[in-house]
Structure 1
Amino acid sequence: MDSVEEMREFLIECIKKHVPPLRINKDKSDVFEVSGTKHAMQGKQLVDGYYFGSVVPKPKDVRLYFFPIYTHPSAFDLISKDLKKCLKGKSCFHFKSISPEMKTEIESMIEQGIKVYSEENLV
């Protein structure tokens, strides 16, 4: 899968499978954003839904901002080298293409994020 639009739709559908417990905050062509639905401390601030992630299409790639990998990095130690290559910084994946194997791994990674945040009572 190489088309920005196809990758965007795939990532959004992976996340939408988890609504609820996630809540959609933004659903526009330039950004799709979700958070939890419970009041939680995010840093020093009480928020009405802990940030989970966003999908942002760019002209040459699609970005997945995936906050669980930032807040709980050890829960994602086993992601593949191919997926790690797409991770820029601590929580942002840049996808120029998504292989069938990577699709399966992304789905599992998002499920793991839901599991970790559920255990922490964040979603």
Structure 2
Amino acid sequence: MIKDISEIREKLKKTLESFLGPLKVKVNKPANFELMGTIETYQGKQKVEGIYFSSLVPKEKDVRLYFFPAYTHPQEFENLSETLKKFKKGKSCFHIKYLDEELENEIQNMISKGVELYKKDGWLE
């Protein structure tokens, strides 16, 4: 089990980077890692060069995983494990306090599902 914040951030960053292609890096700084889509679209009423997808923000006691598909498609992410549900704050933010293999796999599957949903909606290639 990983409890070190910098290690958690790096693991989650590598997981997110495995989806580069349909996603691209918008911000890559120690305090914020952000991914967005590669297709120009509307986000609300504003035209954007790519839809916001996810970001990582390390804090003192956890790593914040902001995951926009959980906001845009909440019904698709209702069946999370009890652990991941405990980490969820609000509609699309997860406060990741530790990682184990099971949680890593669930997060990877959640991100994969988000990519597929966004592809289906025409927001990602």
User: Could you state the TM-score of these two structures normalised by the residue count of structure 1?
Assistant: 0.97
- State the partner residue of 2:54: 53
Shift of 1:81: 1.2
Paired amino acid for 2:77: F
Question: Deviation digits for residues 39-91 of structure 1, max 9, x if unmatched?
Answer: 11100111100000100001111000000000001111221111011000111
- State the partner residue of 1:116: 117
Q: How does 1:37-116 map to 2 (within 5 A)?
A: 37-116=38-117
Question: Deviation digits for residues 82-102 of structure 1, max 9, x if unmatched?
Answer: 101100011100011112211
Structure 1 residue runs of 4 or more that deviate by more than 4 Å after TM superposition: none
2: CA distance, partners of 1:92 / 1:116: 18
SS in structure 2 of the partner of residue 78 of structure 1 = coil
SS in structure 2 of the partner of residue 115 of structure 1 = helix
User: Could you state the TM-score of these two structures normalised by the residue count of structure 2?
Assistant: 0.96
1: CA distance, partners of 2:83 / 2:72: 21
Paired amino acid for 1:89: G
Shift of 1:23: 0.8
Paired amino acid for 1:60: K
- Among all aligned residue pairs of Structure 1 and Structure 2, give the percentage whose two residues are the same amino acid: 46
Which consecutive unaligned segments of at least 5 residues does structure 1 have?
A: none
Number of aligned residue pairs: give it: 123
Q: CA RMSD in A?
A: 0.7
1: CA distance, partners of 2:41 / 2:88: 26
